[in-house]
Chain A
Amino acid sequence: MKSSTTLDPVLQKLPKAKRRRSFSKRDRLTLGIFIGIPTFLHVALVWFPAAATIYLSFTYWTGIHIGDIQWAGLANYENIFFNTPIFWDALRVNVVWLIWFGAIATPLGILLAYQIDREIRGSKFYQAAYYLPVVLSLAVIGVIWNFLLRPDGLVNGLLGLEISEAVSFFGDDRYNIWVILTMASWRHIGYIMLLYLAGLKAVDASLREAASIDGATEWQSFRKVVFPTMKPVNVIVIVITIIESLRAFDLIYIIYGSSGGLPILGVLVFQNIAGEGASMKGAAYAVILFLLSIVPIIAYLRAQFKEDMK
């Protein structure tokens, strides 16, 4: 701090061109290493493999010798779209997931944030309570919910059902998707709440107060005053909602293993890229998953890099 104050007048007197000095050899090397190592690692383990997967999705390959790769054109995709009915089942589950998150879970998270932000009594405790599930590993969440929903778990116990006639919440097609969505929302709502709460802290509190003094209803002041000022957070919340719905994997895997009791894209990809079922059809699945999430990714990047692009 001291040096900057004494040097400031000197700096201002220097013409701009002279202020930027040329780099010494050692500095150039340092800069090269500073950018080089992270960039190499990132490109080698993220972008290069991503590009390779896109290429492989157009080939047949057993995955052993590079020389065995054969061009397949769109065959893998045709196989998925026309000969794999489970793909459409999975896609439907993902769409239901997205609608549930978009119409119920995310709005509930926002509503919670909006109420808790007014520092109602006990808001610190509420914040912690709703957020706690988010820090838990999905493996732990699987065990916790199993405790409630097993054949000899609490819910069946409360319903007064013996093990022999217990409702199989994870096995029965009538219930399983809703049970899974409840579990997923248990986490998602807290996550959205926290993100939104942080955004709301940045909104000038006097704005809201002024609106309420002027006789605006809660809904009016949210829609007309708060929501428009929250645009950056809104974009992030929407992106997270879409990406999480499309990529849902961990929770289903934890409950059903790789057998997949509930078809969903994330698990289909997993079945086809890892273990014995691995084939380049798996690569095609991964590319489809990527293409589905490309719109929210671009929306996110555009929101974040708006100023830099100018």
Chain B
Amino acid sequence: MSVTEGKFENKAERKLSKEQERLKKVKDAQKVKDRIISVFIGFFAIAWLFPIVWTFYSSLRPYKEIRAGGVLSFPKVLNFDNYTSAISRMELPTYFFNTALITLPAVFLILLLGSLMAFVVTRYSFRANVALLLLFTAGNLLPPQLVFIPVFKMYLALGDLVGDRRFLYDSPLGVILIHVAFQMGFATFVLSSYMKTIPKEISESALVDGASVFTHFFRVMLPLLRPPLASLGVLMTTWIYNDFFWALVLMSTDSKRPITSALGRLTGEFVTDYNLLAAGAMIAALPTMVVFFVLRKQFVSGLTLGATKG
């Protein structure tokens, strides 16, 4: 009895170990392959970063040195002088302030109005809900050039109406409103897909408790929306910070423009001192890079909230 059993076990074990051996071979082959792929991808990753690193390196050198010895000359001076003079000569603080003046209110309004819209569309069953959601999502995808001419004329006309031509045109308010109108579509879409995953019972219990619509939104739903709002907020901030189309066409006074639009003009103005410009560009890139490294998780999930539904 015990002999036959032992034999049987042995056979099974051998079979098992054979299987394990085969698996191990597959895994080992995979490991070698992975190592090669890793080296390959790593090589390209460094190539990917190279333009940024090179610009940073150049921004630490005075332009004079490059004029004298060429780009490949060995650096004699490496310091942050270009940075301090970029900040003062390019008036970067002014442009940063302009950017904040546009970006912060725009992001706040996009999140508030987008979540209001998503709330009504997902929590109350009106007949027009799907149509409204479709309208908002599709509107977000229209090319900005398609709406520019009438928006421009409307801004001027409204300005005349209130007696101040620069009420919307050439004012931060006008740029904020167009960003809000466009990006609200995206925010609504993303937030509504998130809200669909929140159990209906939570809303129902609020309604049974006799909560008003106002309380239902601000006390019950809004606190639950914190994760997607954080992600969307990070994503929208980078988008609006980086946009320059609207600031370019809806503003005419240079000193009012945000930093990214201003950089285009500064490129022409400081073409004689390119290393100073590099320092300016690095400073302009700093906020988005910091956001990316500190809040990468939020950034990535914000981007993919819209991409992978639910």
Q: What is A's interface to B at a CB cutoff of 8 Å?
A: 3-4, 7-8, 10-11, 19, 21, 23-24, 26-27, 30-31, 34-35, 37-39, 41-50, 52-53, 56, 63, 112, 115-116, 118, 120-122, 125-126, 128-133, 135-140, 142-148, 150, 152-154, 157-158, 186, 190, 194-195, 198-199, 202, 212-213, 215, 232-233, 236, 243, 247, 249-250, 253-254, 257, 266, 269-270, 273-274, 278, 282-283, 285-287, 289-290, 293, 297, 300-301, 304-305, 308-309
- Our pick among A37, A128, A278, A285 for the contact of B113 (Cβ within 8 Å) is A37
Given contacts A45-B151, A47-B135, is CB(A158)–CB(B72) below 8 Å? yes
Given contacts A46-B139, A139-B264, is CB(A128)–CB(B132) below 8 Å? no
Asked if B188 lies at the interface with its beta carbon under 8 angstroms from chain A, I say yes
* B41/A126 in contact, CB under 8 A: yes
Digitize B192-208: 1 where CB-to-A-CB distance is under 8 Å, 0 elsewhere: 00000000011011011
* B51/A45 in contact, CB under 8 A: no
Closest to B208 in A: A7
- Our pick among A24, A35, A190, A286 for the contact of B145 (Cβ within 8 Å) is A286
* A34/B54 in contact, CB under 8 A: no
- Our pick among A7, A45, A139, A289 for the contact of B178 (Cβ within 8 Å) is A45
In the complex, how many angstroms separate the beta carbon of B239 from the nearest chain A beta carbon?
10
- Our pick among B38, B41, B49, B292 for the contact of A135 (Cβ within 8 Å) is B292
* A309/B130 in contact, CB under 8 A: yes
Interface size on B, residues (CB 8 A): 104
Digitize B45-65: 1 where CB-to-A-CB distance is under 8 Å, 0 elsewhere: 110110110110010000000
Please tell me which stretch of B5-13, B75-83, B296-304 contacts chain A, meaning at least 4 of its Cβ atoms lie within 8 angstroms of it.
Answer: B296-304
* B146/A4 in contact, CB under 8 A: no
Closest to B113 in A: A38
Given contacts A4-B202, A23-B213, is CB(A194)–CB(B52) below 8 Å? no
* A305/B185 in contact, CB under 8 A: no
Asked if B66 lies at the interface with its beta carbon under 8 angstroms from chain A, I say yes
* A53/B146 in contact, CB under 8 A: yes
In the complex, how many angstroms separate the beta carbon of A109 from the nearest chain B beta carbon?
12
Asked if B263 lies at the interface with its beta carbon under 8 angstroms from chain A, I say yes
User: Can you give 15 contacting A-B residue pairs, CB < 8 Å?
Assistant: A3-B205, A30-B213, A45-B151, A49-B149, A52-B149, A56-B150, A115-B41, A137-B284, A147-B274, A186-B51, A198-B307, A282-B149, A286-B146, A304-B189, A305-B137
In the complex, how many angstroms separate the beta carbon of B159 from the nearest chain A beta carbon?
15
* B145/A42 in contact, CB under 8 A: no
Indicate the member of A146, A285, A289 with the most B CB atoms within 10 Å.
A146
Asked if B278 lies at the interface with its beta carbon under 8 angstroms from chain A, I say yes
* B51/A147 in contact, CB under 8 A: yes
Q: At the interface, is chain B mostly helix, strand, loop or mixed?
A: helix
Q: CA–CA, A140 to B307, complex, Å?
A: 26
In the complex, how many angstroms separate the beta carbon of B176 from the nearest chain A beta carbon?
11
* B45/A126 in contact, CB under 8 A: yes
* A233/B307 in contact, CB under 8 A: yes
Q: CA–CA, A212 to B27, complex, Å?
A: 9
* A137/B37 in contact, CB under 8 A: no
**A233 proximity list for chain B (CB < 8 A):** 307-308
A-B complex: 9 closest residue pairs judged by Cβ atoms: A45-B181, A198-B304, A49-B150, A49-B147, A143-B281, A129-B45, A157-B71, A137-B242, A52-B150
Asked if B70 lies at the interface with its beta carbon under 8 angstroms from chain A, I say yes
Given contacts A53-B150, A126-B45, is CB(A157)–CB(B51) below 8 Å? no
With A38-B117, A199-B307 known, 14 other A-B pairs at CB within 8 A are A39-B117, A39-B132, A42-B184, A42-B185, A53-B147, A112-B41, A138-B260, A139-B261, A140-B260, A142-B264, A144-B281, A194-B304, A250-B245, A257-B268
- Our pick among B124, B139, B205 for the contact of A42 (Cβ within 8 Å) is B139
Given contacts A143-B278, A305-B134, is CB(A38)–CB(B184) below 8 Å? yes
Q: CA–CA, A121 to B284, complex, Å?
A: 32
Q: Which of B109-124 contact A (CB under 8 A)?
A: 113-114, 116-117, 119-120, 124
